[in-house]
Amino acid sequence: MTNDDLRAAIAAIEPVDEREAQSQAATLDRLTWSIDPFDEEVDPHHVTASAFVISARGVILHLHRKLNIWVQPGGHIDAGEDPLAAALRETVEETGLVTVHTDPPTLFHVDVHPGPRGHTHYDLRYVLLSAPVDPTPPPEESPDVYWFSFADAVERCEPGLAAALGALGAAAPRWV
């Protein structure tokens, strides 16, 4: 995936709220900087990837071990990795679930938020599909990973995620 492809996918998103509209503009701007947008070591402002994992059981959330908030799986993009692959890898690492992208892959949401160590994350949030099986997170990850109905996920999640999960719940029947 090229940066041009990524910019086109971001620009095609219909923001769910003003926060996402601002995040969309900021992420598109970040992709114009001359330094690597994915490398967390080069600049404290970097692009990350995460996943809205859905199935007939609903959506996956996990209790982030450091932040103590309910969010979707995701994290940093490794050197040489594209965001699509990073979303898949982070999902396996944090939930134990084997997932696939929708066909074609769906970049559903973008969000800019503070990360650890004074970093800013420009998070690309993809829709991933899973069999409706129980998550099996590895021992070094949060053991609190569960399927939630979309309504329950909106109630439980970090507040900045609620609008996106509400919109995802309305859109989910086209994939599940």
pLDDT 10s digits, 16-56: 999 999 999 999 999 999 999 999 999 999 999 999 999 99
CATH number for position 53: 3.90.79.10
Residues of the chain with pLDDT under 50: none
Give the domain range for residue 161.
Answer: 3-174
β-sheet bridge partners, residue 128 = 53, 101
* pTM check: above 0.85: yes
For the chain, how many structural domains are there in total? 1
Distances 109 to 80, 122, 157 between C-alpha atoms, Å = 23, 11, 15
